[in-house]
A and B are shown apart, each in its own frame.
Chain A
């Protein structure tokens, strides 16, 4: 049996130019069907991925009429039978607060967001991090939290722009650290798949943990809370090293080149890295932000588009602007479709990677022109859910109902999630 070639895992989405051949990256054994025991999808761990698009989607181009795909969703055609287009879901709490920040930062929690320029930030632990903390400890990397754009440094509408840069929250008061460099993400995947051992590393952590403990006793409540971030971090890192050092994982890929590549290529790289990590079971949870809240990214690289994302999202109901906004929306769906196709083509025994990955794609805003957080544009793909459907709730329903359903799919038995009123009707 020949080894699966390195190139074969670099499926279409990646431009060859963005990879360096023979760059010294680790080439471990890929997951070999011939060598693996026959296992159904239920026996490999279920994963969760959220692909977040800022600035909303033009409803008239997004909402499908009946079961047929809408113009914005048309790129999903090849994987349509694996997708559920969701309608009439909303976050009640995101109606409070103007603009984008509340809708983005609470997208995966549905929690109320405290308006502040810095002190006493508060959102809610996001679904991905709940899963990372409850089921993600079985993989070397509890979650990948990826993005493209660094945060801005101003206060906007009374909100620190921390809010606009994070959909993943470790706790109600702490965003998960994002990684913005595809190359650095790759290096980390390689590190955790190599199984290298370093006993001295833990000795160093022992010293600093002890110093943090002693210090904690000398701090007041607020600073003690802040130092709690450090204590939790050093504890978790030490535990992870103890659990996974010496355990090799299969990872087959070549290192991406440095990060000075175009936006489109960076997006493709990040999505491929998510796929690789899921495939190698390096992680079960990932989020990816195409951009931050109010992203003004120039989309003039698309035919017929002339201008920035946020600006075009304020289309003022003018057809020529709506068309450009919808074209940007469709570009995002194209990337999502490619990612879903990549997972679907990754066969695992008689199943595939998409069958054990729940993918949520969408935005926390409906129409960018109005900042409305009702009837959010959402697609649920993969995992145990039956696809090929447009599942529209008859009345506005908490998006957290979907999150409760996802939790249940992961075997978590919480009675509720956020403002959920029950599992999502019609999903199972």
Chain B
């Protein structure tokens, strides 16, 4: 874009709409007309907002993250005004819930649900392949596939399961069979079954009995037909031709239950659903569900995916360099993060404890790894610490190892992890011919990783993104590839963060992140949202997420407050037109 005509500027800015005035006042000096920093031309985008949707999404994000304007953050009211104006200009209704794609139960949800229904373990981990993920989570319908092969493998796993030992009473006669199927289908389908659904199973049982099958085997056929039904395997919600609508009690109970417990609703929750009394806004229900031991699911499944500890099984530190690494350590690393998150859920603590806390979750193995004395127990327990290099995700061996190469640390990976997972601001991908750092950090030419990265940043093609990525990782160079504190005092840990703040080392980084807690809390809210709703948040969801963050802030960032914001969002309690 060249210089916009005076007429165009006048058209764009001299408007009744205050958000345009705001953009004109604080943004267009750098992003419009003669100067288009970062290629972002907001004068053009103001003139034709609908054609520049991505630009506006970035602009709202940048304002919310406090990245823009660089001269100082906007107030909450200004950010809301900007977002509301953008939504209106783009014709987006923030009450529109959007649409998650029909979701099959993930393999882990399926295993847990079967266990709850049958009381026995159905071995799925070997029988079925791991589900891939959409938007970072395996609860996204778009990436939960079902094929003939999948169905065959699943059916075989059911066959191999010890159904004979299942907690199912064999009905004495046909009337009892109908009642038994009705009860089972209510739980399996997470709604009352239709008479046809019950009858079909009774008929099949009768036919099998007539063929001479033993009563239990004949009854189990109908159970199999429940567990193979699409009403069990998918979380069915939609109906064709409807506009956006509120979910009914059963649908809502199902969403809550899978989100918080990883399984279908239990009888008590189904009773509530039948009574039309499932209300996520009601404090009691949510508090009870979070206080239930089943809510540990959030630590085992949500946190493991969000914080990446589920990927610890893939890592392969070089055991010649890192002789301390063994399977016990690998398992302990994962358990530490899981325990920290479970404690957050259980005790309803501030989510900021994931950034920094005065305690850590340790067993003897980890304590030895960290050089913390006095921890003798083999199980993971909450241990008070005064060393601020531990406590919080960034001080865990799990994070520090996940973001290392087999032979060295990776400041780039560490920086990227922080941006993607803790700040929800993923960097742009590198260009195709981007180089890589050397395999080993013990290089004959004596150049440190830091020096190499500095050289890399001198290349203008790399500078833009790496100036955002590297500082976070370089501040953590005080930890080796397994997350142990390094002894060599020579490592320079002082960095300048993208927002201009100077910090030193992990402690400085923690302080910097805690000083602007909303960025982290918003990122966590976005990840919770994606996991719970089955799609990534869009511009229309911003108001609900923003409300969740502010409500959490008002309650000391308690975990339950953040979750309440998610489960009361329009996207969670309603469903959009298909």
Contact = CB atoms under 8 A, between A and B. Distances in A.
Interface in B212-244: 213, 221, 224-225, 228-231, 233-234, 236, 238-241
A185 to B, nearest CB: 10
A296 B316 contact: yes
A117 B230 contact: no
A49 B433 CA distance: 32
Interface stretch (B67-75, B131-139, B270-278): B131-139
B230 A215 contact: yes
A155 B138 CA distance: 12
A352 interface: no
A93 interface: no
Interface in A208-222: 208, 210-212, 215, 217-222
Interface in A348-389: 369-372
B200 interface: yes
A151 B145 contact: no
A234 B231 CA distance: 14
Contacts of A218: 238-240
Contacts of A158: 429
Interface string A234-262: 10110010000000000000000001000
B376 interface: no
Nearest to A118: B134
A226 B103 CA distance: 9
Interface stretch (B306-314, B367-375, B517-525, B549-557): B306-314
A220 B420 contact: no
B129 A177 contact: yes
A157 B416 CA distance: 12
B225 A145 contact: no
A199 to B, nearest CB: 8
A156 B426 CA distance: 9
Interface stretch (B201-209, B344-352, B490-498): B201-209
Interface string A170-211: 100011111111011001100100000000110111011011
B148 interface: yes
A69 B436 CA distance: 30
A10 interface: no
Given A117-B134, A222-B578, A223-B102, A215 B147 contact: no
Contacts of B407: 306-307
B320 interface: yes
A226 B224 contact: no
A204 B318 contact: no
Given A223-B101, A298-B318, A161 B225 contact: no
Interface stretch (A70-78, A308-316, A411-419): A308-316
A307 B208 contact: no
A149 interface: yes
A422 B187 CA distance: 56
Interface residues of A, number: 83
A296 B305 CA distance: 19
A183 B125 CA distance: 13
A404 B71 CA distance: 60
A226 B101 contact: yes
A214 to B, nearest CB: 8
B405 A307 contact: yes
Given A177-B147, A233-B147, A153 B138 contact: yes
A340 to B, nearest CB: 26
A179 B99 CA distance: 31
A300 B420 CA distance: 30
B439 interface: yes
B578 A219 contact: yes
A201 B129 CA distance: 23
Nearest to A212: B230
Nearest to B149: A177
A121 interface: yes
B127 interface: yes
A117 B135 contact: yes
B102 to A, nearest CB: 4
B287 to A, nearest CB: 30
A321 interface: yes
A300 B99 contact: no
A153 B230 contact: no
Given A155-B136, A160-B132, A307-B318, A119 B148 contact: no
Among A207, A210, A369, max chain B CB count under 10 A is at A207
Contacts of A188: 152-153, 156
B151 A117 contact: no
A11 interface: no
B130 interface: yes
Contact of B201 (A191, A207, A300): A207
A229 interface: yes
A187 B394 CA distance: 44
A217 B240 CA distance: 8
Contacts of B127: 184
A303 B341 CA distance: 42
Given A160-B133, A218-B240, A98 B429 contact: yes
B147 A208 contact: no
A113 to B, nearest CB: 14
B535 interface: yes
A296 B316 CA distance: 8
B148 A237 contact: yes
B241 A220 contact: yes
B143 A160 contact: yes
A175 B230 contact: no
B247 to A, nearest CB: 14
B288 interface: no
A154 B308 contact: yes
Contacts of A236: 148
A369 B320 CA distance: 26
Contacts of B150: 177, 233
Contacts of B233: 230
Contact of A297 (B138, B149, B316): B316
A138 to B, nearest CB: 16
A396 interface: no
Contact of B132 (A120, A151, A200, A372): A151
B139 to A, nearest CB: 10
B76 to A, nearest CB: 29
B51 interface: no
A233 B208 contact: no
B225 A207 contact: yes
A99 interface: yes
Contacts of B6: none
A176 B149 contact: yes
B332 to A, nearest CB: 20
A98 B431 contact: yes
Nearest to B126: A181
B403 interface: no
Contact of B429 (A157, A183, A207, A306): A157
Contacts of B230: 208, 211-212, 215, 227, 230
A152 interface: yes
A274 interface: no
Nearest to B200: A207
Interface in B425-443: 426, 429-433, 435-436, 439-440
Given A205-B228, A306-B407, 15 more contacts: A98-B432, A99-B429, A119-B134, A153-B136, A160-B133, A160-B142, A177-B147, A207-B204, A220-B577, A222-B102, A237-B152, A307-B439, A308-B316, A311-B436, A370-B432
Interface of A: 98-99, 117-121, 142, 145, 149-158, 160-162, 165, 170, 174-181, 183-184, 187-188, 191, 200-201, 203-205, 207-208, 210-212, 215, 217-224, 226-227, 229-230, 232-234, 236-237, 240, 259, 296-298, 300, 306-308, 311-312, 314, 316, 321, 369-372
30 contacts: A117-B136, A119-B134, A153-B132, A153-B136, A155-B136, A160-B142, A162-B143, A170-B147, A174-B145, A177-B149, A177-B153, A178-B129, A183-B126, A184-B127, A187-B156, A212-B229, A217-B240, A218-B238, A234-B148, A234-B151, A237-B155, A296-B405, A296-B406, A307-B439, A308-B406, A314-B435, A321-B439, A370-B433, A371-B432, A372-B432
